[in-house]
Amino acid sequence: MTEAYINSLLRDIPSNVDYTELPEDIDLRTYLERIEKVKTLLVHEDDYIVFQAARLLTSWGVEKGFHILEKLLVENKLRGMIQHRLHGYDETYKHVLYAFMLLGKSIRYR
């Protein structure tokens, strides 16, 4: 897999989606193929890609992504994954919390 392909899976918004700019907020009931492709990134050699895939899948309500994200959190492997772009402090846990909040929302509406 190329870096461009991985970035596309993790960040692209379908052209017919006009209600968000965040991939986490996409209603993926119609994009099940994309979920399967993102799941393949959960075993990538780059920990950052595994983290991003797990976070995105968790946001979409995919249990496998949640378990990987939970494992990374418990094993304390998330420190410094996402740095604030101006001030440089660690924002990783803020993004993990957002993914967990979206997971709760997606479970509630299944």
Q: What residues contact 17, with CB distance under 8 A and at least 6 apart?
A: 26
- Contacts for 67 with CB less than 8 Å, ≥ 6 apart: none
pLDDT for res 110? 43
Predicted model pTM? 0.75
Q: What digits encode the pLDDT tens for the residues 8-65?
A: 888 787 777 776 666 766 766 666 888 899 999 999 999 889 999 999 899 888 889 9
> In whole angstroms, what is the distance from residue 96 CA to residue 16 CA?
27
The pLDDT of residue 108 is above 50 = no
Mean pLDDT within 69-90:
77
The per-residue b/e assignment along 44-61, b for 16 or more CB within 10 angstroms, e otherwise, is eeeeebbbbbbbbbbbbb
Q: Would you place residue 89 in the very low, low, confident or very high pLDDT band (cuts 50, 70, 90)?
A: low
Q: How far apart are the first and last CA of the chain?
A: 32
